[in-house]
A and B are shown apart, each in its own frame.
Chain A
Amino acid sequence: MAYAYLFKYIIIGDTGVGKSCLLLQFTDKRFQPVHDLTIGVEFGARMITIDGKQIKLQIWDTAGQESFRSITRSYYRGAAGALLVYDITRRDTFNHLTTWLEDARQHSNSNMVIMLIGNKSDLESRREVKKEEGEAFAREHGLIFMETSAKTASNVEEAFINTAKEIYEKIQEGVFDINNEANGIKIGPQHATTNSTLSGSQGGQQAGGGCC
């Protein structure tokens, strides 16, 4: 299907916080309570619409365990957005955010949009991290913030879409060089046909090969 842009996302965070479940809820609109551990990387994709334009999200879901960090690092390359996920019922997953953030900032391009997500908001009775704490952390580090529930689907759409909106705005502002794929953005065929003068020959060429 034709799209104007393709954005590459990466989902990161401790093991068991619900990264794969968030992805599954967003791409398939379902929840799987017992999910196989992610080894290496899994992919998901979905089309969304922003400002009347079709945008394809290509989402890389990573293994959360510490040991895999050295491998996960190589996936940041060329990501336009990152969802940094913690579990509101497990304090330690919140405490590890700084390390994740350092890793993300060090190995990605400086314009990558990071969305902080406190997942499992349906488990209010087991909450260990207050919403205000998540908000404060996000404010301090310049991130967008949301609490979600992959189980009830609450805010899941919003989390993925708001991140895309932020990336889209950055493109409009000219912050991203959209002709450099290292930024995690690809111009699609739709864009090339409706706006061929803007994207030029290079964009058109990329669209021909970019059919994932």
Chain B
Amino acid sequence: RNKAKVDTYGFEKPEGYESYEEMMAQYVAVLTRQSVKWSKLLQGKVHVENNLKVKRYVRKGVPNEYRAQIWMAASGAQEHLEKNPGYYHSLLGTEQQHDAKLEETDIPQNVQFRKSSEPCLQKALYNVLLAYGHHNQVVGYCQGMNFIAGYLIIITKDEEKSFWLMDALLGRILPVNYYSPAMLGLKTDQEVLGELVRVKAPAVWQTMVQHNVMWTLVVSQWFICLYIDVLPVETVLRIWDCLFYEGSKILFRVALTLIRHHQAEILQARSMVEVCECFKLITQGAFTYDCHTFMQEIFREPGSLSMATITKLRETYRERIVAEETRLCP
């Protein structure tokens, strides 16, 4: 309950938080400016249009007071919520639980809200995960979803909205099979990133090949947790603004920016383990703390990256992985 020890969102302040607070002192001015702009843009409307102006606004950051609303509107979650009144609560009803595949025990006991000061959040987290598991029985519960549901609850402060945002993310925004047992979507994206690195940071790609580092070793957490616990909270939220509005392409922009910006350090690594450690280090420090500059960088540093390219690469690598897996386990 010691307020000095936790940040705005209730998380324990990490080491080096002072530099973060310095950044935030300046960032507040940006937020205030954005907040005024957003209030003019929305003028009390619930829905947001899909146009260049809004896109520019989203890239500059959605003020926290509008975040839930914008995420809900941009992702289509609001529409689904309105079309399916009572659905969320029915998923938590007792009848459903009997024939559902997901047993309560499938959500491990060690899934706990780090904001232990507010016990009701623990129940909300559990409910959202349970409801989602009933809703999407192919996926059920997969580690990593706990982090995502947790962030959604912190931002929306509403179980039902969190559930529908989760549905938007896993069902529409991310490619299919990110969290389902074979994780084909996730594996594909890791290979797609590898290919993008080969083109946009060839020296890094060489290093990876030289030390025999599989992409899954260094970036699985980035993709599974959508950068939660990888990057600072404020930066993650800014990335998610774009994720909800522009789609999953943004995940590659972030990864490529981190890799290209820290190319020199990665090339220093002399073994597989050193490469892995380096990939942990490059997510920390001033570069990622300063979310506003970081977000400008992700649209500059990697250069052009069209959705058509991503879609094509995803198709190619999905086919390759399926072929490879069939060869290994026919």
**Interface residues in chain A, defined as those with a beta carbon under 8 Å from any beta carbon in chain B:** 15-16, 34-37, 39-41, 43, 45, 58, 63, 65-71, 74, 92, 209-212
Cβ A68 vs Cβ B229 within 8 A? no
* Contact in complex: A40, B112 (CB < 8 Å): no
Among candidates B110, B111, B221, residue contacting A40 with C-beta atoms closer than 8 Å:
B221
Q: Within the assembled complex, what's the spacing in Å between the Cα atoms of A212 and B211?
A: 11
Which residue of the partner chain, among B143, B270, B277, contacts A39 with CB atoms under 8 Å? Answer: B143
Contact B273–A70 (Cβ < 8 Å): no
Residue B108 CB within 8 A of the other chain:
yes
Chain B residues positioned under 8 Å from A71 (CB to CB): 183, 186-187, 216, 220
* Contact call A41/B217, Cβ cutoff below 8 A: yes
Bound together, the chains give a CA A70 to CA B146 distance in angstroms of 20
Whole-angstrom distance between the Cβ of A22 and the nearest chain B Cβ: 15
Tell me if A15 and B183 are in contact (CB < 8 A).
no
Chain B residues with CB under 8 A of A16 = 108-110
Q: Which of A15, A37, A40, A45 contacts B273 (CB 8 A)?
A: A45
Contact A40 B217 (CB under 8 A): yes
Q: Nearest CB to that of B272 among chain A residues?
A: A212
Q: Within the complex, which residue of B111, B187, B214 is in contact with A37, where a contact is CB–CB below 8 Å?
A: B111
Contacts of A69 in B (CB 8 A): 181
**Binary per-residue interface labels of chain B (104-124) against chain A in the complex, 1 for a CB within 8 Å, 0 otherwise:** 010011111000000000000
Can you sample 25 A-B contacts with CB below 8 Å? A15-B108, A15-B110, A39-B220, A39-B225, A40-B216, A40-B217, A41-B217, A41-B220, A43-B277, A65-B108, A65-B143, A66-B181, A67-B142, A67-B179, A67-B180, A70-B182, A70-B183, A71-B187, A92-B105, A209-B271, A210-B271, A211-B270, A211-B271, A211-B274, A212-B273
Interface pair B229/A40, CB less than 8 Å apart: no
Nearest CB to that of B180 among chain A residues?
A67
> How far is B273's CA from A211's CA once the two chains are assembled, in angstroms?
9
Inter-chain contacts of B143 with A (CB < 8 A):
15, 37, 39, 63, 65, 67-68
Q: Across the interface, which residues of A come within 8 angstroms of B183, CB to CB?
A: 67-68, 70-71
Instruction: Please tell me if the beta carbons of B181 and A70 are within 8 angstroms of each other in the complex.
Output: yes
Assembly CA distance A55 to B52 (angstroms):
60
Instruction: Determine whether the beta carbon of B216 is less than 8 Å from that of A39.
Output: no
> Which B residues, 272 to 296, have Cβ-Cβ distances below 8 Å to chain A?
272-274, 276-277
Chain B residue at minimal CB-CB distance from A40: B220
Contact of B271 with A212 in the complex, beta carbons under 8 Å: yes
Smallest CB gap from A38: residue in B: B143
Residues of chain A with a CB closer than 8 A to B181's CB:
66-67, 69-70
A210–B217 alpha-carbon span in the complex (Å) = 18
User: Would you call A37 and B270 a contact (CB within 8 A)?
Assistant: no
Taking CB atoms, residues of chain A closer than 8 Å to B276 are 43
Cβ contacts under 8 Å, B225 to chain A? 39
Closest to A14 in B: B108
Q: A40-B221, A71-B216 are in contact. List 8 more A-B contacts (CB 8 A).
A: A15-B143, A16-B108, A37-B146, A67-B179, A70-B183, A71-B186, A92-B105, A211-B274
- The yes or no answer to B144 lying at the interface (CB within 8 A) is yes
B224 in the interface, Cβ–Cβ < 8 Å?
A: yes
CB neighbours of A66 from chain B (8 A): 181
Q: Which A residues are in CB contact (< 8 Å) with B277? A: 43
Contact B224 A39 (CB under 8 A): yes
- Can you list, as one digit per residue, whether each of B134-172 has a CB less than 8 Å from chain A (1) or not (0)? 000000001110100000000000000000000000000
**Contact flags B94-108 to A (C-beta < 8 A → 1, else 0):** 000000000001001
The smallest beta-carbon distance between A163 and chain B, in angstroms, is 19
- Measured in the bound complex, the distance between the Cα atoms of B110 and A39 in whole Å is 13
- Once bound together, how far apart are the Cα atoms of A69 and B181, in whole Å? 8
Q: Are B144 and A212 in contact (CB under 8 A)?
A: no
Find the A residue at minimum CB distance from B274.
Answer: A212
B residues near A43, Cβ cutoff 8 Å: 273, 276-277
- Taking CB atoms and an 8 Å cut-off, the chain B residues in 297-313 that contact chain A are none
Give CA–CA (A92, B103) in the complex, Å: 14
Question: Roughly how many angstroms separate A154 CA and B271 CA in the complex, as a whole number?
Answer: 33
Report Cα–Cα, A43/B280, bound state, in Å: 11
Distance to closest chain B CB from A125 (angstroms): 17
Q: What chain B residues lie within 8 Å of A210 (beta carbons)? A: 271
CA of A43 to CA of B279 in the docked complex: distance in angstroms?
13
A36 to B274, CA, bound (A): 22
Min CB gap B80→A, angstroms: 25
A36 touches B229 (CB 8 A): yes
CA A70 to CA B324, docked complex, whole Å: 13
| Interfacial chain A residues near B229, Cβ < 8 Å | 36
B273 and A58 within 8 A (CB) = yes
